[in-house]
Amino acid sequence: MAKESSHPIEPLIKPDIVPPVVQFAVAEKFIEMCRSLSIWPMAFGLACCSLEMMAAGMNRFDLARFGSEVFRPSPRQADLMIVPGTISKKMAPAIVRLYEQMPHPKWVIAFGSCAISGGPFVFKEQYGIIEGIDKLIPVDVYVPGCPPRPEALFEAIFKLQEIIGGKRWWPHPPKEAK
């Protein structure tokens, strides 16, 4: 599920990362920890997977427990782009523009089969669907499923926290289960 560096397709947009002039190891570790614990997703949906994303914010699953319930409507205030669903060719420019409008540091989760590879829409002579969001923008975590369960989104966010801060915080297994 984690990011594969040897992915065969090069994304359209490559992040240009400038190395910092002076490095403060402790401060950077602290900042990375804070960033990993406060991931605000952008509120948008493309297809049916977005309903699972909404369910993850509701009271049965409650994304708020991990501080990620702040779905910001504006890309300027968001950290994470969850791409939930089928990317049609008409919608692709809008998605790329939304990604470009987000301030750094930003992350992307490809949520569901369609966002990973086109899912059930891959067949000969199909003309309207982009087969995978990673052809357009760099993806950090892939979540398989058609659609994935809300727990899968939780797992993706924990993975993302591991990618950002280098530590997996949750879930702590209950003591009697060990």
Partner 1 sequence: MSGVEWTFIKIVIGMLLILGFIAFNAILLGYGERKISGFIQGRLGPYAVGPHGSLQMMVDMVKLMTKQIITPKKADGFLFWTAPILSFMSVPVLFMVIPFSPSFTVINSGLGIVIILAFSGLNVLALCIGGLGSNNKWSLLGAARAVSQFIAFEVPILLVVLSITLMTGTLSLSEIISKQGGFPWQWNIVLQPIAFVIMFVASLAEMNRVPFDLPEGESELTAGYSTEYGGMGFGLFVLAEYTHIVVASSVITTLFLGGWKGPVFSGIWWFLLKMYILCFIILWIRWAFPRVRFDQLLNLSWKYLIPAGIFNLLATALLVKLF
- Applying CB under 8 A, the residues found at the interface with partner 1 are 30-31, 33-35, 37-38, 40, 43, 58-59, 62, 64-67, 69-70, 72-74, 76-77, 79, 102-105, 169-170
Place of tokens 């990618």: 163
The smaller minimum CB distance to partner 1, of residues 76 and 124, is found at 76
Residue of 76, 74, 81 lying closest to 115 (CA atoms): 81
Tokens found for residue 79: 């950290």
Spatial distance between the Cα atoms of 68 and 78, rounded to a whole number of angstroms: 11
CB of residue 88 vs partner 1: minimum separation in angstroms?
22
CB of residue 23 vs partner 1: minimum separation in angstroms?
14
Q: Is the previous residue joined to 148 through a cis bond, with omega within 30 degrees of 0?
A: no
Spatial distance between the Cα atoms of 68 and 82, rounded to a whole number of angstroms: 12
CB of residue 92 vs partner 1: minimum separation in angstroms?
20
DSSP string, 27-85: HHHHHHHHHHH--PBB----STHHHHHHHHHSTTT-GGGGT----BSSGGG-SEEEEES
Collapsing DSSP to helix, strand or coil, 95 comes out as: helix
The smaller minimum CB distance to partner 1, of residues 43 and 131, is found at 43
The smaller minimum CB distance to partner 1, of residues 46 and 130, is found at 46
CB of residue 63 vs partner 1: minimum separation in angstroms?
9
The smaller minimum CB distance to partner 1, of residues 14 and 76, is found at 76
The smaller minimum CB distance to partner 1, of residues 4 and 62, is found at 62
CB of residue 40 vs partner 1: minimum separation in angstroms?
8
